[in-house]
A and B are shown apart, each in its own frame.
Chain A
């Protein structure tokens, strides 16, 4: 039987790669019995969606204007 520390590691790993068959089964069983780890798994999915959204947002991206300004500065350097 997995403990929560191990189950949460597998849940996290499952976000990035395909688990082995026995790992999947062990995780599934744990999640059926453990509400805390089921919540953690929901949070992992939430964080993934939030990251995807954030990556398109100006908190994590240069605006077109900022890019233009930087390009201008680079060109100015070229001509100086």
Chain B
């Protein structure tokens, strides 16, 4: 282990800590557990820095370590979690549950009745977080990075080795699923 890596890890905490934390929180649903997982991830990153390949971005590499920490966490709780629950490379979800074969809405969108000020409410944030957590893994990852942590599409393409088309398809599916989830679970 190199001591020089500690200031490095502190910089990673500053840069990627919020992303890693929110990613973990979506999965483990416990703030303190999620904080611990970020800490464990960075501690592991200090010692494992030599496994970092320059082909992946730091964020992707750290997220990879975090995913394994999350799996360990569930194993300790005797919950069976497959890596597939955290990563779904082909994201088989399609748009058939939203549209008929001739492209009409199956479940027509309705206007949200609550004013936009509702997004300030803690109750709303909890539902919103739950709805993001319910997304397919890859959709959740892209949505979290792009919409919540403000990363650019270019960055996301590079980090997750996705084409721009992949990203907007994932974003569109995420938005359809979120609008459905908010409609069903957020009664204000």
Contacts and interface: CB of A to CB of B under 8 A. Distances in A.
Interface of A: 3-6, 8-9, 12-13, 15-17, 36-37, 39-40, 42-44, 46-55, 57-62, 66-67, 69-71, 73-75, 77-78
A60 B18 contact: yes
Nearest to B143: A51
Nearest to A9: B172
B43 A77 contact: yes
B179 A47 contact: yes
Contacts of A4: 99, 103-105
Given A60-B18, A70-B39, A75-B6, A50 B175 contact: no
Given A43-B112, A77-B46, A62 B103 contact: no
Interface string B82-111: 000000000000010011001111001111
A60 B35 contact: no
A66 B42 CA distance: 13
Contacts of B171: 12, 15-16
Contacts of B126: 59
A61 B111 contact: no
Contacts, number: 135
Interface residues on B, range: 35 or more
B128 A62 contact: no
A63 B120 CA distance: 18
B21 A62 contact: yes
Given A4-B104, A43-B179, A55 B120 contact: no
A67 to B, nearest CB: 6
Contacts of A61: 18, 21-22
B171 to A, nearest CB: 7
A16 B149 contact: no
A74 B171 CA distance: 35
A61 B17 CA distance: 8
Contacts of A47: 147, 175, 178-179, 182
B35 A36 contact: no
Contact of A74 (B6, B105, B129, B150): B6
Nearest to B176: A8
